[in-house]
Amino acid sequence: MEALVKDVQVRHNHLLKEKKKIKDFGDEVFEAEQSFVDKINNERKISANALEELKEVKQFNAKINKDLELQQVDLNNQRKYVKELEEIGRNMVESVRILEKEKKLLEKRLIEEKSTVEHIQSPLVVTSTLGLI
């Protein structure tokens, strides 16, 4: 009987050790699961923050793109204005060139007319003209 009691105690102790091993293993599994859950939650927070930052960056980029579009429109308008001014400048240069040509022609005519008037007023021409009357 003593052997039987001893055998039961040994088996009981063995069962207690196995039960402790199972409990320890369960605790390790629980800790691993909890650690995994914590990591997942942390990754979710990081992902949520990254998503929020991405949304902010997209909004910022959209604003920059809108500003760039407005600046492009302004630049195109300025280019158009500069081209118009260049055309006006070319027209003015052409007008000045034509006016200078006209001035030279008028100066030439004036010289010719002065010459003719001087010639008509010369005493020789006046006498010969009087003789015709």
> So what's the pLDDT on residue 4?
86
Which residues are CB-neighbours of 32 under 8 A, at least 6 positions away? none
Return d(Cα 55, Cα 47) in angstroms, integer: 12
> Residue 68: pLDDT above 70?
yes
Q: Which two three-digit tokens encode residue 56?
A: 């902010």
Residue 61 confidence (pLDDT)? 99
The yes-or-no verdict on residue 125 having pLDDT over 60 is no
What are the tens digits of pLDDT across the range 5-37?
A: 898 999 999 999 999 999 999 999 999 999 999
Lowest pLDDT segment from 34-38, 93-97, 124-128 = 124-128
Q: What is the mean pLDDT of residues 86-114?
A: 95
What secondary structure does DSSP assign to 30-98, as a single string?
Answer: HHHHHHHHHHHHHHHHHHHHHHHHHHHHHHHHHHHHHHHHHHHHHHHHHHHHHHHHHHHHHHHHHHHHH
For residue 65, pLDDT over 80 is answered with: yes
Measure the CA–CA gap between 29 and 17, rounded to whole angstroms: 18
Residues 6+ apart with CB under 8 A from 129: 120
- Percentage of the chain modeled with pLDDT above 90: 77
Average pLDDT, the chain: 91
